[in-house]
Structure 1
Amino acid sequence: MQAHLDRIQAVNGAVNAITVELGEQALAAAAEADRVLLSGQDVGPLHGVPFTVKENIDLVGSATTNGLILGEALFPPVDSPHIARLKAAGAIPIARTNMPDVGLRWHTGNALHGETLNPWNPALTPGGSSGGDAVALATGMTPLGMGNDVGGSLRWPSQCCGTCAIRPTLGRVPEHLSLSAVDRPLSIQLMAVEGPMARHVRDLALALSCMNGATPRPLVDARAYAWRRGTTQGRSCHRPRRRGHSSRCRGRRPSCSRCASRCRL
C-alpha cells in the first residue's frame, strides 16, 4: 500500500489524475488486512488490493463531487453497492480520480480539479469521462480503478491510455447514488453501467466477479442468469431470425419476392 502511495506522490503532480489521496485510511485498512492474514482467517479474492474511485461514485468519507465545485460538500452516507462489494472482497480504496463536469465530455478536466494529462503524450487527451482512473492505471498509481460508462466513458480513456476496461451488461453490476433526491432520467438509467478498469484483462475478470450480482433497486436486473468466469451458464446464442423487406427493392433481386413473402408485416 505504501508503495502505491509513494507512486502517487512521485507521479501525480505531472498528470493530475488523483484528486483526493486517502492515504491515512488506506494504510490503516492495509494494517488490518495484514493482521487478518497473519491470524489465519479466510480472506477475500481482493484482500489488500488498492483501488481508485471516480468522483461520481459514492464512497463513504469522500465527497461525490461529479467534478463540480458545488459537489465539494456532498458526502454520501453509504458506499455505492459495488464499492461495498469490493470492500467486502478485501479491496481498499486508495484515492479519488478526476473526471469532466458531470461526466459529459470525452476529455478529463473541470474547474474544481483542473485538467488531467495523457501520460504518454500531454498534447493528447487521456479520454473521458473515466480518464483519471485510466491515467492512474497507466502510470502505476493503482492496479484497479472504478469508473462508469454511458457512451464510452470506460472504453475511450482505456484506449487513449493503453489500459483495459469492460462495460458490463446493463443490470449486471448495481449502481445507485444515495445523494440523489430523484432518480436520473430513464434514458440515462437504461445506458449507464458501473465497471472495472485495470492494466490486465485477468484483473478485470476478477474485479467483475466481485462486483457482479443483484441490484438493490433494479430497473434492469441481469441476475436471472448466473455469471461465472469462463462460462455462459444459462445463456443462449440462438434467437429467432428477423427478416425485413424494403419497398425500394421493387423485385430487382431474385430474393426480394421470397423476402417479402416471409416478412411479418
Structure 2
Amino acid sequence: MDNRALTELSATEIAEAVRTGVVSALAVAEAHLARIDEVNPAVNAATVVLTDQARAAAAAVDARIAAGQDGGPLAGVPISVKENIDLTGSATTSGLPFATDHIPAENASFVTKLLAAGAIPVARGNMPDVGLRWDTDNDLYGRTWNPWDRSRVPGGSSGGDAVIVATGMAAAGLGNDYGGSLRLPAHAAGIAALRPSAGRVPAPTRQIMPIELSLQAFAVNGPLARTVADLDLLFGVMHGADDNDPLSVTVPHPSGYDGPRRVAVTVDPAGWGVEPQVAAAVRAAARALTEAGWEVEEVEPPQVDRCATLWRQISASEMAPALLTPGVFPGPLSAGTVKYFTDNVAGVDLLDTAATYSAAWAERHALAARWRRFNTRYPVVLGPVTTAAMPAIGWDLSGPEATTEQWQQHRLLVTANFLGLPAVAVPTGVTDGRPQGVQVISRLHGEHIALAAARAIEAAHPAMTPIDPRP
C-alpha cells in the first residue's frame, strides 16, 4: 500500500490491505469516521453516522482474520447505505420526518450479503423524500450540497451516497435507481455507478407489501464507487435472488467479457439537443473505446423518444394518486417535492384510463424487443448521462416547463430504466470546474459488458475524487 490516506483508497485496495494484515479494519473505519466528522458539515450528505455499528463490525472482521479465517472480499470496506434501504439498528426514513421510528427487523438481503463479505456500514446517505426529485433535499435532514459547486444540485435521489463516496467519507455507497437516481448523482459527483438489470439485486426491504408496477419494472438497487473495478466487486457480492422478492433472479456474473466489442454511440439521443461539453465527453469516451480495441459506430438506438415519453407517462400516472391526494401519507411531504411533482404532472398526458395504461405497457414490450435486437448487433450503447450541465438549485421548481426540460435532458437515463437494462455511469474529466461523464448501457443481464466498456473509458481519464469540499 502506498502513502495515500486510508480515505483515498479504493474499496478493492482497502479489502486487499485488510485481508493481508497491512492495516486493520478498525483503523480503516476510524479513518472514515474521522473524515465524516471533518467534511460532512460542508456537504450534509451523511444523515446518520453509524459509529458504534461500524466499530463493532470492523472489530468482528479483525477477529476473523486474527483467527486465520477469510476476512471476505469486502474486508473492512466502509460503505454508506441510502435512507430507503433497510439496515437494522437504523430507521429507514426515505427522507420523511414521520418515518423516524421505522426501524427494520432485518436487513435488505443484499445488505446482509455485503456485511457477511466484510463491508462496514459507516453512514446513511441523504435523499429527497420518497426519492422523487433529481435533487437531494427534504424536511427531515435538509439539503445535500454538491461538493464541486454549491450553486448546483448534487443530483438525486441517491445524492447523499454519491457525495459521501466522492468526498472520501466511504469507499462505496448503496443506492437505487428508478429514473437515473444512481447514475445522475454519480455523474454530478465525479464517481461511477452501476444500475443493474431489473431483478439482479433484490428489493431494498424484505417486508412483503404491494408494489406499483412501475417500481417493479423500473427500480433497481446498486452500488456507487470511485472506480469501475469497485462497482464490479460490490455487484459480484450483492446480486442474486431473495425468496421474499418474486422478481429477483440469480444469473451468473462473469469476471470479464470476451464477446463482440461493438458500440453504438448516440451523442444527441432522439435529436432533442445536447450541450457542447456533453457532446465532447461522449466523443472522448468513444475515442477511448476505439483505442482500447472496440468497434465504434455513431448510430441511434431504437426510439429513445418513445421510451422516455412512456417512462414519464407511466411513472407520473402511477404516482399522482398517492402524491397529490391528501391523507395518503401519515404526514406531509416537503414543499419542494409537492411543487416538483405538481409541475411535473402538469406537463404529462396522464394514462388515466385502463385502455391507455394497458396500451403503454404493451408498447413497452415492443420497444424492449427492438432494443434486444439492436443489442445483438451493438452490445454497448454509449451516450450522455444528461444532455446538459447540472442545474442551479431550485431550477426544477421553477414551473412545468422546467420539469419537462429536465426530463428531456435525462431521456437516455430513463430509457434504461424503462427497458430494465444495466447501465454504468463513468466520469471523463472536469469541465468549467464540474465533473463530466458518460453512461454505457448493455443488454439485459449484461452488467459485465457495460462494466468492461466503462473500464476502458475510465482507463483513459484520470481519477477526480476524493474531493475535499471544505472552503
Common fold, TM-score beyond 0.5? yes
Match of 1:104, as an amino acid?
L
CA distance in 2, matches of 1:184, 1:157: 25
1:123-169 deviation line (CA, Å, top 9, x unaligned)? 01110000001101111100010000010000000111101100001
1:20 aligns to what SS in structure 2? Answer: strand
Corresponding pairs, count: 235
1:195 maps to 2:222: yes
Where do 4+ consecutive residues of structure 1 move more than 4 Å?
none
Aligned CA RMSD, in angstroms, stands at: 1.8
Match of 1:230, as an amino acid?
G
CA contact (8 A) 2:178 2:215 kept: yes
What residue is the counterpart of 1:25 in the other structure?
Answer: 53
Structure 1 residue 215, shift from structure 2 partner = 2.6
Structure 1 residue 216, shift from structure 2 partner = 1.8
CA contact (8 A) 1:146 1:197 kept: yes
Structure 1 residue 171, shift from structure 2 partner = 0.8
CA contact (8 A) 1:174 1:216 kept: no
Structure 1 residue 226, shift from structure 2 partner = 1.8
Distance 1:176 1:129, change over 3 A: closer
1:88-103 to 2 correspondences below 5 Å: 88-103=116-131
1:220 maps to 2:247: yes
2:218 aligns to what SS in structure 1? Answer: coil
Structure 1 residue 218, shift from structure 2 partner = 4.0
CA distance in 2, matches of 1:102, 1:176: 13
What residue is the counterpart of 2:111 in the other structure?
Answer: 83
Structure 1 residue 220, shift from structure 2 partner = 2.9
Match of 1:153, as an amino acid?
S
Gaps of 5+ in 2: 1-28, 260-371, 375-471
1:145 aligns to what SS in structure 2? Answer: strand
CA distance in 2, matches of 1:19, 1:112: 9
What residue is the counterpart of 1:142 in the other structure?
Answer: 170
TM-score with structure 1 setting the length: 0.84
Structure 1 residue 179, shift from structure 2 partner = 5.1
CA distance in 2, matches of 1:91, 1:196: 13
2:124 aligns to what SS in structure 1? Answer: strand
Distance 1:221 1:73, change over 3 A: closer
Tell me which of 123, 136, 143 is aligned to 1:115.
143
Percent identity of paired positions between Structure 1 and Structure 2: 52
1:13-60 deviation line (CA, Å, top 9, x unaligned)? 010000000011111221221121122112210011110000000000
CA distance in 1, matches of 2:238, 2:83: 18
Deviates most, 182-191 or 83-92: 182-191
Distance 1:240 1:125, change over 3 A: closer
What residue is the counterpart of 2:232 in the other structure?
Answer: 205
CA contact (8 A) 1:77 1:178 kept: no
Match of 1:212, as an amino acid?
H
Distance 1:28 1:220, change over 3 A: closer
Distance 1:222 1:54, change over 3 A: same
CA contact (8 A) 2:109 2:206 kept: no
2:80 aligns to what SS in structure 1? Answer: strand
Tell me which of 88, 104, 107 is aligned to 1:60.
88
Distance 1:71 1:213, change over 3 A: same
CA contact (8 A) 2:206 2:245 kept: no
Bigger CA radius of gyration: 1
